[in-house]
C-alpha cells in the first residue's frame, strides 16, 4: 500500500512538474492578455489603463536597456500606461517571429531598421497617420517634423508598400573612427579626403610610432565594399554581389592599394588574425589610429578605452574618378515597429514618441554614446565630427555596400583579405581568388 501511495505521489509530482513547465513557459502571454482585457482602447486616442508588451532587442544591463527601464517608469508615472518589457537581447532575431506566429500578444518590438521592415514587414502596422500627429514632447508640431527627416525617409522607403511602418531610433553611420590625439601627435591638421591624402597621413602616423589602421574579421567585408564603391560606385559594387561575380577589374586595384598599405606597414600586423572585437581593442589601447566602423564604437569600447579618449570621425576617402565621393556612406538605425494586431496602437505609438523625442531621446543618446533622433537634441561630444559627416551624407550605402548579403562572398572576402594583409597573397592572387 505504502509502495502504491509513493508511486501515485511520484506520478502526480511528475505531472505537476510538466504542467508547471508549460504554464511558466508563457508568462508574457498571460500578462498581455490581462492587459488587453483591461483596455479595448480605440485606435485614435491613447488611454491610461493599458498594459503594453514590448519585445526589446536590448538586454536589461546594457546602457540602452537601463535607460529604457527608467523611461518606462517615467512613462507610467506620466501617462498611467504600463510597458511590460520582455528583454530578448539579440536573440529577438530568432524569438520574435515564432512568438508573433504563435499569437502571443506583443504590441511593439524593435531591431535593425532593415530587418524589421524586410524580414518582419508583414507584421507591421502602418504608422503614417500616427506620425502626422503632435504629442506632448513635439511642441505642438507633427512628430515627423521634430525628428531626423533623413531617417524617416529611409524608414518609409524600406517599409511595406513604401509606407512609414517603423520609427527609427539609435541611428548610426559607418565612418572612419579615429584617435584625434594620435593625429595631432603625427602633425595631421585635417582629415584625408582622397587616397593620396590618406596615404600621406598614414606615413605621418607611422613616423609618429603608431599603426595607422586595423581591421578584424567582422568588418572586412565593409572595408572591401566601401573601397570598391569609392572605385566604381555603389551600383556596380552591389551588382557584383547580385551577380555573384566579384570580377570587376577594380578588384585588382583594391588589392594593389591594400597590398601597398601592408607593404608600408600601415595596417596592424595583427589584422589578419584579429577576431572581433580584437581590432577595436587596438584602438582602445591607443596603438592604432583608425578603424572603419560604426558610430557605436565609442560606446562599445568605453570600458577599455581611457575616459578622455579623444574621438574623431571622417568619411572614408574618395579614391577613383568613377567612384563615389565622401558624401556616400552607410547609415541606418534601430527602429520600433507596432504589431498590426495590437489592441493599443495609439498607446504604443505614444511610447515610441516618448523614447524618440525630448528627455528620453537625449538620455538614451547620452547613456549609450549614441545618436539622438530629435532634430533639436545635442549629439554626444564623442560624435561631434560624426554629425558633420552624417549631415553631409547624400547617398546611402546598404550595409557593407551589399558585401554581406551573400554569406559565400563575405566569407571569401574575409579569407582573402586576411591573406593579402599578411603577405600570403599578392594583389593578383587576391583578385584571382575573388573571381573563383
Partner 1 sequence: MKTTKNKAMIILFLAPALILYLFVFLYPTTRTFIMSFFKVEGVTDALSSWKFDGFDNFKTLFGTPLFVSAMKNIGLIWLVGGISVLLISLLFGVILTSGVLGKSFLRSVIYLPNVISAVAMGTMWINYVYNPDFGLFNSFLKLIGQDGLAKTQWTGPELVFWSMLIAYCFGMVGYHMLIWMSGIERIPVDFFEAAKLEGANSFQRFSKITLPLLKGVCRTNIVLWTVSTMSFFVWSQLFSPVNLSENTVTPMSYMYELVFGASSSALTARNSGAGAAIGVILVIIVVVVFTLTQRIVRHDDVEL
Candidate residues 102, 162, 249, 303; the one interacting with partner 1 per rule CB under 8 A: 102
Instruction: Decide if residue 112 touches partner 1 (CB under 8 A).
Output: yes
Which stretch in 13-21, 47-55, 69-77, 130-138 sits in contact with partner 1 by CB under 8 A? Answer: 13-21
Instruction: Decide: is 389 part of the binding site for partner 1 (CB under 8 A).
Output: no
Q: Which of 150, 399, 426, 432 binds partner 1 (CB under 8 A)?
A: 399
CA distances from 332 to 295, 329, 386 (A): 11, 10, 13
Of the pair 132, 269, the CB lying nearest partner 1 is at 269
Question: Would you say 160 or 398 has its CB closer to partner 1?
Answer: 398
Nearest distance, CB of residue 44 and partner 1, angstroms = 31
Using the minimum distance from each CB to partner 1, give the nearer residue, 18 or 207.
18
Q: How far is the CB of 10 from partner 1 (least distance, A)?
A: 8
Q: Which of residues 158-217 bind partner 1 (CB under 8 A)?
A: 217
Return the residues of window 34-93 that contact partner 1 according to CB under 8 A: 90, 93
CB of 157 to partner 1, least distance (A): 14
Minimum CB separation from partner 1 for residue 26, in Å? 15
Q: Does 404 bind partner 1 (CB under 8 A)?
A: yes
101 binds partner 1 (CB under 8 A): yes
How far from 5 is each of 2, 11, 20, CA to CA, in Å?
A: 5, 10, 22
Distance in Å, CB of 418 to partner 1, minimum: 5
The CB-of-276 to partner 1 minimum distance in angstroms stands at 5
Instruction: Name the minimum Å distance from CB 332 to partner 1.
Output: 9
Q: Are the beta carbons of 324 and 318 closer than 8 angstroms?
A: yes
Minimum CB distance to partner 1 smaller for 19 or for 34: 19
Q: Does 126 bind partner 1 (CB under 8 A)?
A: no
Contacts with partner 1 in 220-249 (CB under 8 A)? 221
Residues that bind partner 1 (CB under 8 A): 4, 7, 10-11, 14-15, 18, 90, 93-94, 97-98, 101-102, 111-115, 118-119, 217-218, 221, 269-270, 272-276, 278, 398-400, 402, 404-408, 410-412, 414-415, 418-419, 422, 424
Amino acid at each position: 500500500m505504502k509502495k502504491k501511495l509513493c508511486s501515485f505521489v511520484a506520478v502526480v509530482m511528475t505531472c505537476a512538474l510538466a504542467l508547471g513547465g508549460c504554464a511558466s513557459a508563457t508568462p508574457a502571454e498571460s500578462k498581455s492578455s490581462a492587459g488587453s482585457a483591461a483596455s479595448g482602447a480605440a485606435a485614435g486616442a491613447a488611454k491610461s489603463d493599458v498594459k503594453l508588451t514590448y519585445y526589446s532587442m536590448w538586454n536589461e544591463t546594457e546602457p540602452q536597456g537601463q535607460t529604457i527601464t527608467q523611461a518606462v517608469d517615467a512613462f507610467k508615472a506620466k501617462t498611467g500606461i504600463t510597458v511590460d518589457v520582455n528583454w530578448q537581447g539579440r536573440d529577438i532575431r530568432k524569438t520574435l517571429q515564432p512568438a508573433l506566429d504563435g499569437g502571443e500578444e506583443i504590441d511593439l518590438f524593435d531591431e535593425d531598421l532593415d530587418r524589421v521592415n524586410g524580414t518582419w514587414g508583414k507584421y507591421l502596422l502602418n504608422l503614417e497617420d500616427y506620425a502626422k500627429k503632435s504629442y506632448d514632447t513635439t511642441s505642438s508640431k507633427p512628430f515627423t517634423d521634430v525628428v531626423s527627416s533623413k531617417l524617416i525617409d529611409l524608414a518609409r522607403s524600406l517599409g511595406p508598400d513604401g509606407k512609414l511602418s517603423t520609427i527609427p531610433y539609435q541611428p548610426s553611420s559607418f565612418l572612419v573612427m579615429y584617435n584625434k590625439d594620435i593625429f595631432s601627435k603625427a602633425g595631421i591638421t585635417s582629415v584625408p579626403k582622397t587616397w593620396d591624402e590618406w596615404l600621406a597621413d598614414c606615413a605621418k602616423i607611422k613616423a609618429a610610432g603608431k599603426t595607422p589602421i586595423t581591421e578584424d574579421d567582422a568588418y572586412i567585408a565593409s572595408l572591401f565594399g566601401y573601397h570598391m564603391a569609392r572605385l566604381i560606385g555603389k551600383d556596380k559594387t552591389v551588382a557584383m554581389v547580385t551577380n555573384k561575380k566579384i570580377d570587376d577589374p577594380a578588384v585588382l586595384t583594391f588589392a594593389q592599394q591594400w597590398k601597398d598599405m601592408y607593404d608600408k606597414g600601415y595596417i596592424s600586423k595583427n589584422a589578419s588574425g584579429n577576431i572581433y572585437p580584437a581590432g577595436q581593442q587596438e584602438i582602445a589601447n591607443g596603438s592604432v589610429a583608425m578603424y572603419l566602423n560604426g558610430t557605436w564604437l565609442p560606446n562599445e569600447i568605453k570600458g577599455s578605452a581611457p575616459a578622455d579618449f579623444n574621438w574623431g570621425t571622417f568619411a572614408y576617402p574618395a579614391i577613383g574618378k568613377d567612384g563615389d565621393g565622401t558624401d556616400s556612406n552607410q547609415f541606418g538605425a534601430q527602429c520600433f515597429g507596432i504589431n498590426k494586431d495590437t489592441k493599443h496602437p495609439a498607446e504604443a505609438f505614444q511610447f515610441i514618441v516618448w523614447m524618440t523625442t525630448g528627455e528620453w531621446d537625449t538620455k538614451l543618446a547620452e547613456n549609450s554614446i549614441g545618436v539622438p533622433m530629435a532634430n533639436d537634441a545635442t549629439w554626444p561630444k564623442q560624435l561631434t565630427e560624426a554629425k558633420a559627416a552624417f549631415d553631409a551624407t547624400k547617398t546611402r550605402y546598404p550595409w557593407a555596400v551589399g558585401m554581406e548579403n551573400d554569406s559565400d562572398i563575405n566569407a571569401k572576402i574575409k579569407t582573402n583579405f586576411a591573406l593579402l594583409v599578411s603577405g600570403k597573397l599578392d594583389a593578383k592572387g587576391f583578385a584571382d581568388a575573388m573571381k573563383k
